[in-house]
Amino acid sequence: MEAIKDNKNVFLKLSNNEAFVLLEWLAKFNQKEHPLLFEDQAEERILFDIESSLEKIMSEPFKENYLESLSRARQEIRDKE
C-alpha cells in the first residue's frame, strides 16, 4: 500500500489482494447500521463510495472460487510471524 498526495488529491495505491480484502470488509460493514461509530454522515458516505469504486473494478467477487481466493488474499496480507 502506498499513499501519495499532490496539491488537491490523495491517492491510495493498493495491491489487488489489498483491494479485494478491503472490498470484502467494506461490503460486510456497510450492510449493517453503525449509528454510534460515525460523528458525521460524511464519514459513512466515504466508506460507501470506496466500496462502490472497488466494486466497479474488482472481478474476484464474481469468480467461482471466491472464498478460496479471499482466503489466499488474506493470508498474503497478514503479518508474517
The H-or-E segment that residue 4 falls in is strand 2-5
| 28 inside domain | yes
Residue 6 in any domain: the answer is: no
Query: Is the four-CA dihedral 24, 14, 65, 81 of positive or negative sign?
Result: negative
Residue 26 sits in which domain range? 15-77
In a domain, 59, yes or no: yes
Pick the residue with more confidence: 32 or 56?
Answer: 56
Please indicate, yes or no, if residue 10 is contained in any of the structural domains: no
Say what the pTM is: 0.87
pLDDT digits (tens, 9 = 90+) for 12-24: 999 999 999 999 9
Query: What cell was used for 25?
Result: 470488509
Number of compact structural domains in the chain: 1
In a domain, 5, yes or no: no
Per-residue pLDDT at 36 exceeds 90: no
